[in-house]
Amino acid sequence: MRRKTPIPPSPLPQRDGVDPVRVRLPAEGPWATVREYLVERLSGAGAGVVDRMVAAGLVVGADGAAVAPQAAYVPGMYVWFHRELAPEVPVPFPLLVVHRDEHIVVVDKPHFLATTPRGSHVTETALARLRREFGIPELGAAHRLDRLTAGLVLFTVQPHERGAYQTLFRDRRVRKEYEAIAPYDPALALPRTVRSRIVKERGTLTAREVDGEPNAESRVELIERRADLGRYRLVPGTGQTHQLRVHMSALGVPILGDPLYPVVTDPVPAGDFRHPLQLLARELEFTDPVTGDARRFCSERTLTAWSGRPSRASD
């Protein structure tokens, strides 16, 4: 069996809590130079961007030396560089630390803050903030929470332990409980378990239910109601993209503030934080794969749509 070549460590430090981009050159191809390949691979960066980076010595090899503009193409070679980042609107809400030890950091993420760098959200992410605040460049996410969803996210401190925590989430050995605010429908019989098949095509904003073997399961309970709104407990049995949002919409009680379900609304301007999605990752519960301890963490956040309304216990 052919032994896999280990990935060399990055010769570049993080910048503002963000890792440099690592690119491996394919084993085969028509390119004569490293530059030629990067120009094709990074065509979305804009005209002249790669040439400027190479000319400035910003693209480096495993030894930390700058890749020359005419450096020959070497199959399997790794190169690193930092992206030119566009300015980001700061998310003006605190990232609350619920727990921290030598193995994990659990935070209570606000709405609108991405978990990890992705797309146009890079420095304004929970991971980058925590790396900057704690000075732990090795910090990594064990799972992800949607940018629009608030609540608990678990990060790992030791890189060699990250896989054990990620496996917990992959194998569904973490009990997750969410809370949502949505319309109250007296005709909707609850509690109930919703099962359906959900698919999401690459390049589309929304997921949808289709016929076929169920791959998504959600437990939906009404905690209490206030006039025309209900506060719901949602317990996912699976982890399909937008699963809880799709299931609540399919039940006829879409989550308040959802810009995608049941219909896609127009994008809001950058910096408009007035209408957060009323979905909160309330609890995480699991057996720690490293220490063996029973862990249970709870968010202390209150969803804004529930503030200031007289309550009535569910029947």
pLDDT at 308: 58
Terminal-to-terminal C-alpha distance of the chain: 62
pTM of model > 0.85? yes
pLDDT at 118: 87
Q: Identify the segments of the chain with pLDDT beneath 70.
A: 1-4, 308-315
pLDDT digits (tens, 9 = 90+) for 143-154: 999 999 999 999
Cis peptide bond prior to 191, omega within 30° of 0: yes
Report the candidate in 77, 76, 110, 82 with the shortest Cα–Cα distance to residue 96.
110
pLDDT digits (tens, 9 = 90+) for 89-112: 999 999 999 999 999 999 999 999
Supply φ then ψ for residue 141, to 5 degrees.
-85, 135
The rounded Cα 101 to chain-centroid distance in angstroms is 22
Domains and CATH numbers, the chain: 21-81 (no CATH), 96-306 (3.30.2350.10)
